[in-house]
Chain A
Amino acid sequence: NAGVMQNPRHLVRRRGQEARLRCSPMKGHSHVYWYRQLPEEGLKFMVYLQKENIIDESGMPKERFSAEFPKEGPSILRIQQVVRGDSAAYFCASSPDTVRELFFGEGSRLTVL
């Protein structure tokens, strides 16, 4: 059973460009969570999605950030018009329906030049 797959592992963007980060949850998992880890800091919750629904986006910045988890395909975290402060590691995690344990991917490291 493959783990949570994230890609790209590393992404470099210039200020003003768009970043798209993808996450394929573990097989059988329908809950996806995105977290951001800034240098020297812990993980901050961003958004929680189930298939085709955003359940909790209380940690998402109000502008430039969006997330989706379509019926088919991976979950996407999209950052428009990136700024240097968006440079961070973005982690995706998934869980099965009723268990609270999260399984994490290896992260996507975004660098904004």
Chain B
Amino acid sequence: GNSVTQMEGPVTLSEEAFLTINCTYTATGYPSLFWYVQYPGEGLQLLLKATKADDKGSNKGFEATYRKETTSFHLEKGSVQVSDSAVYFCALSDQGGKLIFGQGTELSVKP
């Protein structure tokens, strides 16, 4: 079946450090891929998405590239800020229309 695997957290970085959160997936067909972010006590917000292989999604300095050959969609940011502290979820859309999420990766950025 379809599934998403993310690197375990928590990830702790200093401000302005480089961020990578790994995400790999297993799916039939060619799903769309997403990164969502959840701030404490809030719901999930879409951060970026990619709908086909080699697409790059980007938003607020975050980027992720849809890699079909490695079935990956790693999230990167060149210089993190304290305000980026949150839980990040990788997800794929299955053929039935629902999203399947990874377990989430908590990011903590220290000043």
Contact = CB atoms under 8 A, between A and B. Distances in A.
Interface of A: 4, 31, 33, 35, 41-45, 48, 55-56, 91, 93, 95, 100-107
Contacts of B32: 100
B98 A42 contact: no
B25 interface: no
B17 interface: no
B110 to A, nearest CB: 21
Interface in B16-50: 32, 34, 36, 42-46, 49
Contacts of A31: 97
B99 interface: yes
Given A42-B89, A42-B104, A56 B43 contact: no
Given A91-B43, A104-B43, A105-B43, A45 B49 contact: no
Secondary structure type dominating chain B contacts: strand
A51 B36 CA distance: 26
B97 A48 contact: yes
Secondary structure type dominating chain A contacts: strand
10 contacts: A33-B98, A41-B103, A42-B103, A44-B101, A45-B98, A48-B98, A100-B93, A102-B46, A104-B36, A105-B43
Given A33-B98, A93-B44, 8 more contacts: A31-B97, A43-B89, A44-B101, A56-B98, A91-B43, A100-B97, A102-B99, A104-B36
Contacts of B89: 42-43
Interface string B94-111: 001111111110000000
Given A42-B103, A42-B104, A101-B34, A55 B49 contact: no
A68 B98 CA distance: 17
B37 to A, nearest CB: 11
Contacts of A35: 101
B44 to A, nearest CB: 4
